[in-house]
Chains A and B, each alone.
Chain A
Amino acid sequence: MPDRTDRRIGRRGWLRGAAALAAGAPFASAPFATLRAEEPPIRVGFPVPVTGPYATEAADQVRAAQLAIAEFNESGGMGGRRAELLVRDDKLDPGEAATRAIELIEKDRVDFIVGSLSASVQLAVNTVTKQRGILYNSISQSDQIVSSPDWGPTSFHEAMTPHMTATAVGRYAFGKFGKRIAYVAADYAYGHEMVAGFRAVGAGIGAEELAEIKMPIGTRDFSPLMPRLEALRPDILFLCNFGRDQQVFVKQAQESGLKRMTHIVAPILLQTARIAGGAQAFEGVLGGTSYYWGIERDVASAKAFNDRFRKAYDGRLPSDYGALGYSGVRSVLSAAVKAGSTATEKVASALAGMKYDFYKGPQYYRACDHQSVQSVFIIESKANGRVPEDVFNVLETVPGQEDLLKTCAQEGLG
């Protein structure tokens, strides 16, 4: 009998407790309930080439973007409204990227799109977002996206343009090494744009162009060029190619002795490519970059960003293109907070002209073309340091000023 009594009391107790909980629940969980029910998260679409030749860079972009999202949510979001990142594989293909962007907009109802890692892919995404009135912040290099006819009121460009990269690197090199120059360029858009950028700088200071040699992508033997380049003895050799082509050229220039006669300057030196290629292949090569973690000694925001990245990813350090994923996402979310809304026009007007310092010193979006005006770092490859990412010396910081950029009139947006 005592057993039954106990059981009965137990059940009653349980019922009483449940009733009390049920009565209290609306009060206790009210703030969460309303937050969940009425406010869907801010959705940021992030199409990047997760597979393919740029997968290493893309993986780093995703890591950095996730960091920006986590930080936004930890700091309370937009009045309690959280953000989420929707990563999609664009397979480094413009058609695929356009399809993914359409689906992100139509099916996933994203508020913004940030991403892409090639000129053609970002222009494809930009066409889609422009047509549908969704804000897009591109994080890879292109001159077209900030020029007519590609640019639109919804287009933003967090990455540098080839023009500003070449201008900053060109000014540094001409000032340091002399005016007799030669170009070796990959025969496609990237090579052509970079040569055009250097040429524009050179014309202003009366540089003497000795040769422009265009080589097909995938060239594995540059040795026939070496005697000619050695005979020309340029002060600067601008090496406007990428990846493996670049590594092969530098190695062969070393073997032939050309490297001792001239200064080899590349518009962009990628941290990932330098790590993969090794110290020897890149020894003594100069170039530009949008970000190198080593600036943390001088730049407080870089230190803060690197530390957060290290903490989140087992001591790993962010790469140049990876860091763009962070600032690309964070700037859009900050503009949304500033605007107090996720409506495209409001966020776009908050973002245009916005000044910020998220990871590399002061930056701002130029109002007329939405290009992020930012500093360019001149770096030099060095022997491997303490950590795998310790591969460059920062020679100079070219401060972010509008004279590095084409004017909006030149871009057809005047």
Chain B
Amino acid sequence: MIAALFRRAERDRALLAALFLLVLPFALPFRATAVNVLIDGLFAVGFNLVYGYLGLLSFGHAALFGVGAYATGLALLRAGIPWYGGLLLGLLAGAVIAAIIGLLATRTRGIYFAMVTLALAECVYYVAYQASGITGGENGLRGIVVAKIDLFGITLDFVDPLTRYFLIAAIVALALAALSRILASPFGAVMEMVRENEARARAAGVDVRAVRVLAFVLSGAFSGLAGGLQALHLAIVPIETLDYGTSGMVVMMCLLGGAGTFFGPFVGALVYLVLQNLVALISSHWQLPVGVVFMACVLFFPRGLWGQIARWRPA
């Protein structure tokens, strides 16, 4: 019964995700955090494409997210490009930087892949840090103010919390639908084949390296889009978006929710952000209870929160 329910959920996953996004801001005590859940959720989903479905652990995803954020921010701030153009540029920039990092990093595997991605992402960080004339350096990029959004002849107030949420939610829902389509395609199956048995995939005629690079580029596009949305939402791009802390955060969210599942990373982002914010409101020692919850998750939900639920079968 429950298994059938989850099979059903898996089939209509894009629709289900859209429904979930529709009720999320009313379920959460904070709207701005709800928007962060959307953005980090999309970022984690993009990361999951490489980690969960392809089995490559990247520690450099901050570069893909951050470059997307900077591209969107700079396009709006310096070039005066409208918001949708800025977002598209963010998406493309994420894909381009992913192609560069992916081409270099896919020459290695395992722990070396993680280290090379981390090192290359740090290079990106220092370039942005030093180029303070363009990026604002340590102070970050500020003043990416989008007050009004014109959409098919309707002008929306982007400062209004709910309008901002639903606009960003609509874009995230579209991205999730695209991701669902990718995963359902033959390419999605090939990714999982490479993860499960690389030698066999090779023997079956799969160009393993090309699959890895392509998946990395797609992951970069999703991450870059998430970065661009963050630039619009917060009106700033802090240098910290390129920091290795951001790379660590997305790994954590993905593991917490369940790698290799469609909804897992999103659930991970939700739990991660809401838990932190709620506990921080009550106590300044929020790190302790949050750490305990994380340890409990690792011990009792090794497949992640969603991963464990989705695999649960009544005895």
Whether chain B is bound by chain A comes out as: yes
Q: Which A positions have Cβ atoms within 8 angstroms of B?
A: 50-51, 88-89, 93-95, 98-99, 102-103, 106-107, 119-120, 123-124, 126-128, 131-132, 144, 149-150, 188-189
B147 contacts A by Cβ under 8 Å: yes
A122's nearest neighbour on chain B, judged by CB, is B139
Main secondary structure, interface of A, reads helix
B188 contacts A by Cβ under 8 Å: no
Query: In the complex the two chains form, is A99's CB within 8 Å of B230's CB?
Result: no
Query: In the complex the two chains form, is A150's CB within 8 Å of B238's CB?
Result: no
User: What are 11 sample pairs from A and B whose C-beta atoms fall under 8 A apart?
Assistant: A89-B280, A102-B161, A106-B31, A119-B138, A119-B139, A120-B238, A124-B238, A131-B145, A150-B143, A189-B138, A189-B139
Query: In the complex the two chains form, is A95's CB within 8 Å of B31's CB?
Result: no
Chain A nearest CB, measured from B26 CB (Å) = 13
Q: What is the bound-complex CA distance between A144 and B147, given in angstroms?
A: 23
Q: What is the bound-complex CA distance between A247 and B146, given in angstroms?
A: 44
Contact with A along B150-167 (1 / 0, CB 8 A): 000000000101000000
Residues from chain B with a CB closer than 8 A to the CB of A119 are 138-139
Residues from chain A with a CB closer than 8 A to the CB of B143 are 127, 149-150
A152's nearest neighbour on chain B, judged by CB, is B143
Query: In the complex the two chains form, is A98's CB within 8 Å of B234's CB?
Result: yes
Q: What is the bound-complex CA distance between A205 and B248, given in angstroms?
A: 50
- Known contacts A102-B32, A106-B31; can you find 13 more A-B pairs with CB under 8 A? A93-B238, A93-B240, A98-B234, A106-B161, A107-B30, A119-B139, A120-B138, A123-B140, A127-B234, A127-B236, A128-B234, A131-B159, A132-B159
Query: In the complex the two chains form, is A103's CB within 8 Å of B159's CB?
Result: no
Query: In the complex the two chains form, is A103's CB within 8 Å of B238's CB?
Result: no
Most A-side CB within 10 Å, residue of B36, B143, B239: B143
B13 contacts A by Cβ under 8 Å: no
Residues from chain A with a CB closer than 8 A to the CB of B31 are 103, 106-107
Query: In the complex the two chains form, is B240's CB within 8 Å of A95's CB?
Result: yes
Q: What is the bound-complex CA distance between A318 and B240, given in angstroms?
A: 31
A142's nearest neighbour on chain B, judged by CB, is B139
Query: In the complex the two chains form, is B145's CB within 8 Å of A51's CB?
Result: no
Most A-side CB within 10 Å, residue of B147, B280, B287: B280
B235 contacts A by Cβ under 8 Å: yes
Residues from chain B with a CB closer than 8 A to the CB of A128 are 234-235
Residues from chain A with a CB closer than 8 A to the CB of B140 are 94, 120, 123-124
Chain A nearest CB, measured from B134 CB (Å) = 15
B286 contacts A by Cβ under 8 Å: yes
Q: What is the bound-complex CA distance between A103 and B165, given in angstroms?
A: 13
Chain B nearest CB, measured from A120 CB (Å) = 5
Query: In the complex the two chains form, is A106's CB within 8 Å of B286's CB?
Result: no
Residues from chain A with a CB closer than 8 A to the CB of B161 are 102, 106
Residues from chain B with a CB closer than 8 A to the CB of A107 are 29-32
Query: In the complex the two chains form, is A95's CB within 8 Å of B241's CB?
Result: yes
Residues from chain A with a CB closer than 8 A to the CB of B185 are none
Q: What is the bound-complex CA distance between A50 and B281, given in angstroms?
A: 11
Residues from chain A with a CB closer than 8 A to the CB of B137 are 189
Name B139's contact: one of A98, A132, A144 (CB within 8 Å).
Answer: A144
Query: In the complex the two chains form, is B241's CB within 8 Å of A120's CB?
Result: no
Residues from chain B with a CB closer than 8 A to the CB of A144 are 139
Q: A50-B284, A128-B235 are in contact. Are A103 and B30 (CB under 8 A)?
A: yes
Query: In the complex the two chains form, is A120's CB within 8 Å of B239's CB?
Result: yes
Residues from chain A with a CB closer than 8 A to the CB of B238 are 93-95, 98, 120, 124
Chain A nearest CB, measured from B234 CB (Å) = 4
Q: A107-B29, A149-B143, A189-B137 are in contact. Are A98 and B284 (CB under 8 A)?
A: no
Query: In the complex the two chains form, is B142's CB within 8 Å of A150's CB?
Result: yes
B239's nearest neighbour on chain A, judged by CB, is A120
Residues from chain A with a CB closer than 8 A to the CB of B147 are 131
Those 7 A-B pairs whose CB atoms lie nearest each other, nearest first: A94-B238, A102-B32, A98-B234, A189-B138, A50-B284, A103-B32, A120-B139
B33 contacts A by Cβ under 8 Å: yes
B273's nearest neighbour on chain A, judged by CB, is A99
Q: What is the bound-complex CA distance between A249 and B139, given in angstroms?
A: 26
Q: What is the bound-complex CA distance between A106 and B165, given in angstroms?
A: 13
Q: What is the bound-complex CA distance between A93 and B281, given in angstroms?
A: 17
Q: What is the bound-complex CA distance between A119 and B239, given in angstroms?
A: 12
Q: What is the bound-complex CA distance between A115 and B138, given in angstroms?
A: 19
B30's nearest neighbour on chain A, judged by CB, is A103
Chain A nearest CB, measured from B73 CB (Å) = 11
Chain B nearest CB, measured from A109 CB (Å) = 12
A89's nearest neighbour on chain B, judged by CB, is B280
Query: In the complex the two chains form, is B236's CB within 8 Å of A94's CB?
Result: yes
Most A-side CB within 10 Å, residue of B29, B142, B281: B142
A58's nearest neighbour on chain B, judged by CB, is B284
Q: What is the bound-complex CA distance between A350 and B236, given in angstroms?
A: 29
Q: What is the bound-complex CA distance between A277 and B140, given in angstroms?
A: 31
Contact with A along B254-286 (1 / 0, CB 8 A): 000000000000000000000000001100101
Q: What is the bound-complex CA distance between A188 and B143, given in angstroms?
A: 22
Chain A nearest CB, measured from B293 CB (Å) = 17
Chain A nearest CB, measured from B220 CB (Å) = 20
B147's nearest neighbour on chain A, judged by CB, is A131
Residues from chain B with a CB closer than 8 A to the CB of A51 are 284, 286-287
Chain B nearest CB, measured from A48 CB (Å) = 10
Residues from chain B with a CB closer than 8 A to the CB of A102 are 32, 161, 234
Q: What is the bound-complex CA distance between A119 and B32, given in angstroms?
A: 23
Q: What is the bound-complex CA distance between A98 and B284, given in angstroms?
A: 18
Query: In the complex the two chains form, is A106's CB within 8 Å of B236's CB?
Result: no
Q: What is the bound-complex CA distance between A389 and B31, given in angstroms?
A: 43
Q: What is the bound-complex CA distance between A94 and B234, given in angstroms?
A: 10
Chain B nearest CB, measured from A96 CB (Å) = 9
Query: In the complex the two chains form, is A131's CB within 8 Å of B236's CB?
Result: no
Query: In the complex the two chains form, is A89's CB within 8 Å of B286's CB?
Result: yes
Query: In the complex the two chains form, is A124's CB within 8 Å of B284's CB?
Result: no
